[in-house]
Structure 1
Amino acid sequence: MTASPTAANTRAVFAVFEKYQKERLMFVQTVADLASRESNIDALQSAGVMSLLRPLLLDNVPAIQQAAALALGRLANYNEDMAQSVVDSDILPQLVYSLSEQNRFYKKAAAFVLRAVAKHSPELAQSAVDSGALTALISCLEEFDPGVKESAAWALGYIARHNGELSQAVVDAGAVPLLVLCVQEPELSLRRIAASALSDIAKHSPELAQCVVDANTVPIVAPLLANPDAKLRRQVCSALAQIAKHTVDLAETVVDGEIFPNALNCLKDVDGYVKKNAATLLAQLIVNSGGIAAVVDYVNETRGNARLPGVMTLGYVAAFSETLALAVIVAKGVPPLTQALVIENEEHIKAACAWSLGQIGRHSPDHAKTLADHAVLPKLLKILTSGDKGSSAATDTDAGPGADLKTKTKRALKCILEKTLSIEALDPLLQPNVTPPNILKYVVGQFAKILPHDVAARRSFVTSGGLQRIQEIANLFAGMAPGVPGTLAQEQAVERGSSNVLQGNALTGTKMGEYITTINECYPEEIVRYYSPGYSATLLDKIDEYNKQQEYGPGGGHHTQQLPRLPSSDQLPTAPQPQGITA
């Protein structure tokens, strides 16, 4: 029996649609696979992949929707520009709309896209919030599937981590109680990400940390310090530290959560991140319990080896974070460390002081400025250069400690200098005959960062003699060979046709050469030449050359200019004798 013409036509039509569906699925799966490799991202973007994937998010085939969301997530995860393209293509509202209707596989892929967009910057995270993502993600936290919960918690954490306003939005959406419930789930990966999200929320302000505490977080999270999973212990230590760092009351709440002795045991953990986060937690507890002030008093009151534990404690506390370093500054910990650096005789104590000061100053320009205000930089430089001059008291037995002291002093100087943006603090170190070249490079580098953006600093730099010293440094480092472009030495070499101009010198291709060129480009060439070594001799040479031109004339022949001849005495007119005068 033959099929009817109508049935045959129907099959033919269905075959076209089936082929179209298979091609769509193959296309979107291939794009998702290509997007997993970084080398393909630019080509995909230039091919207009965003506009092709967007309609596939609303496809009637779930597998195509999921593959399209996965491809978009991988593209957005690559860099901020790709994430911005996702936002500009109005893809986020479609994702949020579909989150409430689709299956768990699509929800995981959509949450991945939101996370990939939000992670890059506060502005992109705000775009995700503006699209209504928080409500959809909160609903995902109530799903039965742990994978959906995990993807939603991860996205919420990436939104909250940027600033207090975004964290407050996450809290207002009702995320904290659900995240606390996720910490109690049996799946390890879900517990880790939920704890991490709570840490990202609590870190911004005391009010947000209090919101986390009010959800009964501490009693639930604290016992997890003894969990066998190292990655979970990392996140738990971090979350408790972010809660404890804000106020004394919050620190006491963490302590009341019975974190001891498990927190102390984490200090001996085999996982390095667990040890670091546990030490940060304990440092926060010490700071908020008034421990820093007590340690500062101890360093002030003790001398010799008894000072060493206090000095090291201040350094360790300051090393953990910018906030803890600021706590040491506020507790007036810099003056006793500076005093100990100068007056202590034991080199290992001086080395500890240098290390601690470096840990305080390495965080930000404000931290470095505090150290500069206490004249720490010249004192560190003095220690670094003192051994170069030799000492009759020095012996071979103290060469080891001397090397350790110099190493720690040099590292401290470099850490502080890289954050110093004060011309007044840097100027005393711009001494080519005193500051070692490996430190001078960082000093010149900081000037190269400051001067292009500060007009007042450029003028001050000239009047203080800094520009002249820069030219001296250029000639010193170049070994008196043709110098940095724009300098007098380089101009003279060009006039002479020196082959060294082509061959370069010790500054060619170096960081120091780049820094000096950047500084010289902030000034007119005449000013740079004026302050270059040998400029006065050049002026004298030009005066001599000018005199010769006046003497020989423009024709090049020697001639003497004839002066007018005076008349002889007999040619002078006789003066008339006055009449009526008698002897």
Structure 2
Amino acid sequence: MSQREIIREFEQEQRSRFQFVQMIADRASRPQNIETLQRVGVMSSLHLLIQEVSPGIQQTAALALGRLADHSIDLAKVIVTEDILPQLVHSFPSKNRFYKKAAAFVFRAVAKHSPDLAQAVVACGGVDAMFLCLEDFDPGVKEAAAWALGSVAQHNELLAQSVVDVGAVPLLLLCLREPEMALKRMAASTLSDICKHTPELAQAVVDTGAVAQLALMIRYRDAKLKVLVMRRTYLERQVFSALSQISKHSVALAEMVIEAEIFPAALACLRDPDEYVRKNVTTLMREVVKHSPELSQVIVNCGGMSSVIDSLGECQGSLRLPGIMMLGYIAAQNENLAMGIILSKGVQQLALCLSEEREQHIKAAMAWSIGQIGHHTPEHANAVAKEKLLPSLLQLYMEASSSEDLQVKSKKALKSILQKCTYLPALEPLLYDAPSNILKHVACQFSKVLPHDSKARRLFVTSGGLKKVQEIDAEQGSPLQEYINAINSCFPEEIVRYCTPGYSDVLLEKVENYQLATHQRM
């Protein structure tokens, strides 16, 4: 066999190997093929192919591994147990950009599934390799590395700390300054995943100047980017997410975000067509206002509160949740801020949302926010009561289908509002439906208001309220019985007797006896 023939045979073998690994990579992109590939032992073949001399075969094998791991946690575990990850890392510096992107894809696909698998990526040196990729000249390699680091950092504090310790944060910040939108978005997303765990990790990101850079990306919306609206939208989602994760930890970090002057510019994004941009803006404001009255006032003064109230009518479901909670946090700070929500028609908006939503965790958030608004003073409680929210809260508390969290929050909100409410027309319906532990708070309010309001006493009799009070079966000596006695003392004795159950039968018996006595005299 001639030298040319030998070379031709080797080339043919190389082409066959490449075609084979390309077939695996193509099949691995379809979820319906994963089980079959696993059954025929695809991992053993790829394990050998990843060690090939040919760069094309190596990077295609890595691509196939990434696709398999991305679809299945079981296959991701096999990649770890077969010691494939160290092989990917070993020759990293000498490989081309295609191999680096494919290897980063494998690290990302493995790490995303669980903290244990992410730790395996850290242990094999994958995070260090991704750090080197962040220094690469190719934007695609940087993006793949940032994505892999985010998949590691997202799980817990220790894994996020490993990303910080390798020195990735300053390089991620440099990625935010690159012109490529996809790279900016992924860098912002990874910073968000790092910041979310602890104040210390958030501070590590802030210390690199991340807040100023993220804020700049909000304030500067280049008109030329209109041709890239979708990419810009994805970027803004992640920017607001990162700022939210920074703000949530402490007053100091939230103040740094405010001092970066992102408001009121960020409010313009509440009109963005993308619902997740709007949600993340509202989430950012929620994380800021929860810390202090002063920070809440900053958001109110820039128009954030009124904008969120308006936006609640334009979205549904989980998109409403950050705004609902934001109003609750603002109201919890002090009575003036809570009154601002009332004057801005926030209670009416919450009442509408409560009637429309079906998810219990969203209803629980609304019950909590309503309680925060109404618990301050009689003016606050009456404003809530006039929107007919007390019967709604009672129903949520008493429904057997309500979750424990929903029942607890509804009960707490109801009790806190009742203890301040003096608007009797809203309280009277509760006399007919409330259990004794709620009824005592209702009766208490009647016992406070009726002695000082003659018109209310008259209406209480004519509406049947006094009669209903007489029908309540209260234990002698209980607070409820004491409140009933205090209510009865507001009326003449004969009126109380007239409203007492069975008294009409007594009167009829007297009528019969009277007629009988008259007949006998005749």
Q: TM-score w.r.t. structure 1 length?
A: 0.56
Task: Return the match for 2:233 from 230, 233, 238.
Answer: 230
Residue 400 of structure 2 is aligned to residue 346 of structure 1: no
Distance 1:186 1:343, change over 3 A: closer
**Do the aligned partners of residues 121 and 312 (structure 1) sit closer, same or farther apart at CA in structure 2, a change above 3 Å counting?**
farther
Deviation at 1:295, TM superposition (A): 1.3
User: Which one of the candidate residues 262, 277, 295 is aligned to 2:331?
Assistant: 295
Residues 356/171 of structure 1: CA separation in 2 closer, same or farther (3 Å cut): farther
The corresponding residue for 1:394 is none
Name the counterpart of 1:29: 22
Partner residue, 2:263: 260
How far is 1:87 from its partner?
Answer: 1.2
Q: Following the alignment from structure 2 to structure 1, what is the Cα–Cα distance between the partners of residues 367 and 152?
A: 31
Partner of 1:214: 207
2:63 aligns with 70
**Offset from partner CA, 1:498-538 (integer Å, 9 cap, x none):** xxxxxxxxxxxxxxxxxxxxxxxxxxxxxxxxxxxxxxxxx
Q: 1:135-146 maps to which residues of 2 (within 5 A)?
A: 135-146=128-139
1:374 corresponds to 2:412: yes
CA contact (8 A) 2:290 2:330 kept: no
Alignment match, 1:128: 121
SS at match of 2:2: helix
How far the C-alpha of 1:98 sits from its partner, in A, is 2.7
> 1:198-213, aligned counterparts within 5 Å?
198-213=191-206
How far apart are 1:100 and its partner, in Å? 2.1
How many Å apart are 1:101 and its aligned residue?
2.0
The answer on whether the counterparts of 2:341 and 2:347 sit within 8 Å (CA) in structure 1 is no
Kindly indicate whether residue 178 of structure 2 is the aligned counterpart of residue 178 of structure 1: no
Q: How many residues align?
A: 362
Q: Give the letter for the 1:161 counterpart.
A: Q
Q: Which amino acid aligns with 1:172?
A: D
CA contact (8 A) 1:312 1:356 kept: no
Cα shift at 1:371: 2.4
Give the conservation status (yes or no) of the 8 Å contact 1:308–1:352: no
TM-superposed deviation, 1:308: 5.5
Q: Equivalent residue for 2:242?
A: 239
Are the structure 2 counterparts of residues 310 and 107 from structure 1 closer, same or farther at C-alpha, using a change threshold of 3 Å? Answer: same
2:458 maps to none
Superposition CA RMSD, Å: 4.0
Amino acid aligned to 2:103:
A
Change (3 A) 1:199 1:282: same
Question: What residue is the counterpart of 1:108 in the other structure?
Answer: 101
> Partner amino acid for 2:262?
I
Q: Aligned residues: percent identity?
A: 46
The aligned counterpart of 2:464 is none
Q: How far, CA to CA, are the matches of 1:129 and 1:314 in structure 2?
A: 49
Shift of 1:351: 8.2
2:184–2:235 contact (8 Å) kept in structure 1: yes
- Residues 235-274 of structure 1: per-residue CA shift (max 9 Å, x gap): 1111111111110000010011110222111111121111
1:243–1:251: 8 Å Cα contact kept in structure 2? yes
Tell me the equivalent position of 2:278: 275
CA distance in structure 1 between the partners assigned to 2:166 and 2:129 by the alignment: 10
Question: Compared with structure 1, are the counterparts of its residues 108 and 293 closer, same or farther at alpha carbon in structure 2 (3 Å cutoff)?
Answer: closer
Cα deviations by residue, 1:3-61 (Å, 9 ceiling, x for unpaired): xxxxx522232222112111100100000000011111101000000011011112110
Q: Distance in 1 between matches of 2:387 and 2:351?
A: 18
* Conserved? CA contact 2:374–2:384, under 8 Å: no
State the shift of 1:298 in Å.
Answer: 2.8
Say if 1:295 and 1:314, in contact at 8 Å, map to a contact too.
no
Change (3 A) 1:204 1:310: farther
What CA distance in whole angstroms lies between the structure 2 residues aligned with 1:24 and 1:330? 63
2:52 is the counterpart of 1:59: yes
The alpha-carbon deviation at position 164 of structure 1 amounts to 1.0
Deviations for 1:60-105, whole angstroms, at most 9, x for unmatched residues?
Answer: 1000001100000000000211211211211111111132221110
Q: Find the aligned partners of 2:250 and 2:367 in 1 and give their Cα distance.
A: 15
2:372 alignment counterpart: 333
| Unaligned stretches of 5+ residues in structure 2 | 226-231, 297-327, 418-428, 430-522
SS in structure 1 at match of 2:53: coil
Matched residues in 1 for 2:395 and 2:240: separation?
A: 26
Q: For residues 355-406 of structure 1, what are the alpha-carbon distances to aligned partners after superposition, in whole Å with 9 as ceiling and x for unaligned? A: 9999xxx9x97x55742773969x9xxxxxxxxxxx9xxxxxxxxxxxxxxx
- CA drift at 1:230: 1.3
**Match for residue 317 of structure 2?**
none
Structure 1 Cα separation of the partners of residues 103 and 86 of structure 2: 11
Aligned counterpart, 2:346: 309
Kindly tell me: are residues 368 and 328 of structure 1, through their superposed partners in 2, closer, same or farther at Cα, counting changes over 3 Å? closer
Cα distance change of structure 1 residues 369 and 138 upon mapping to structure 2, 3 Å threshold: farther
Deviation at 1:278, TM superposition (A): 0.5
Task: Indicate how the Cα distance of structure 1 residues 305 and 110 shifts in structure 2: closer, same or farther if over 3 A, else same.
Answer: closer
Find out whether 1:42 has 2:80 as its counterpart.
no
Say if 2:129 is the partner of 1:91: no
Greater mean deviation of Cα atoms: 52-61 or 281-290: 281-290
In the TM superposition, 1:444-523 aligns within 5 A as none
Residue in structure 1 matched with residue 10 of structure 2 by the alignment: 17
Counterpart CA distance in 2 for 1:188 and 1:265 is 20
Which of residues 125, 137, 149 in structure 1 aligns to 2:142? Answer: 149
The structure whose Rg is larger is 1
> Does the residue aligned with 1:277 lie in a helix, a strand or coil?
helix
SS in 1 for 2:95: coil
Q: Distance in 1 between matches of 2:199 and 2:86?
A: 33
Tell me which moved more, 326-335 or 239-248: 326-335
Structure 1 segments of 4+ aligned residues over 4 angstroms from their partners? 299-308, 310-316, 325-332, 339-345, 347-358, 367-370
Classify 1:343/1:263 alpha carbon distance in 2 versus 1 (closer, same or farther; 3 Å).
closer
Q: CA deviation at 1:148?
A: 0.5
CA distance in 2, matches of 1:57, 1:203: 36
**Within 2, Cα distance between the matches of 1:178 and 1:224?**
17
Secondary structure of the corresponding residue to residue 7 of structure 2: helix
The code of the aligned residue for 2:409 comes to: L
- Deviation string 1:403-459 (CA, Å, 9 cap, x unpaired) is xxxxxxxxxxxxxxxxxxxxxxxxxxxxxxxxxxxxxxxxxxxxxxxxxxxxxxxxx
Aligned partners of 1:240 and 1:254 also within 8 Å: yes
Secondary structure of the 1:241 match is helix
Change (3 A) 1:216 1:40: same
Distance 1:55 1:304 in 2: 65
In structure 2, distance between residues paired with 1:146 and 1:356? 53
| Conservation of the 8 A alpha-carbon contact between 1:118 and 1:158 | yes
- Secondary structure, aligned partner of 1:171: helix
Using a 3 Å threshold, how does the CA distance of structure 1 residues 62 and 280 change in structure 2: closer, same or farther?
A: same
Q: What's the offset of the Cα at 1:122?
A: 1.1
The one-letter code matched in structure 2 to 1:100 is P
- Cα 1:302–1:355 shift into 2, 3 Å: farther
Q: What is the match of residue 485 of structure 2? A: none
Contact 2:394 2:410 in 1 (8 A): no
SS at match of 1:184: coil
Query: Cα distance 1:357–1:124, how it changes in 2: closer, same or farther (>3 A)?
Result: farther
Task: Give the whole-Å Cα distance in 2 for the aligned partners of 1:263 and 1:201.
Answer: 22
Give me the TM-score of the superposition, normalised by structure 2.
0.62
